[in-house]
Amino acid sequence: MARTRTIALSDDHLSEEEAGAQKAALDQLLPHLTAVGLHTELLQRVTIGAGQPNQAVESRRHPPQLIVYAGLRKIATISIGPRSGSYLIELGGCGALIQSAPIEVVPASRPDRAAQLIKEHAGAPE
């Protein structure tokens, strides 16, 4: 697993198709996380902006994120790499507040490995 640190920019926007593809990749991970006893919450954000009267309403989709919990404790945030399509797993519960929170990169073809990595980090029972 490669470790890296990325910073999500607030102006990251996706097309409807890109957001759907990223959500589908996160959906593939859900049964694996449930099987190891972890709970999840899917965050999907859409920014809607209205210009002048008689102008079309503009909507922008942000990259979806999957928040993983062990009990009531947040243990990981998962997003999809925009170019690689890999799972980007930020371990830890405080997100951007901790600058040194490790990010693990797991190929999208290995959702089982991603779930196992998060389970090990959480100390979830077998």
Q: Give the pLDDT score at 21.
A: 93
pLDDT in tens, 62-111: 899 999 999 888 999 999 998 899 999 999 865 444 556 688 999 999 99
**Which 3-state string (H, E, C) describes the chain?**
CEEECCCCCCCCCECHHHHHHHHHHHHHHHHHHHHCCCEEEEECCEEEECCCCCCCCEEEECCCEEEEEECCEEEEEEEECCCCCCEEEEECCCHHHCCCCCEEEECCCCHHHHHHHHHHHHCCCC
Is a pLDDT exceeding 90 seen at residue 23?
yes
Of 119 and 99, the structure prediction assigns the larger pLDDT to: 119
Is a pLDDT exceeding 70 seen at residue 38?
yes
What is the average pLDDT score of the chain? 82
Q: Give the pLDDT score at 5.
A: 38
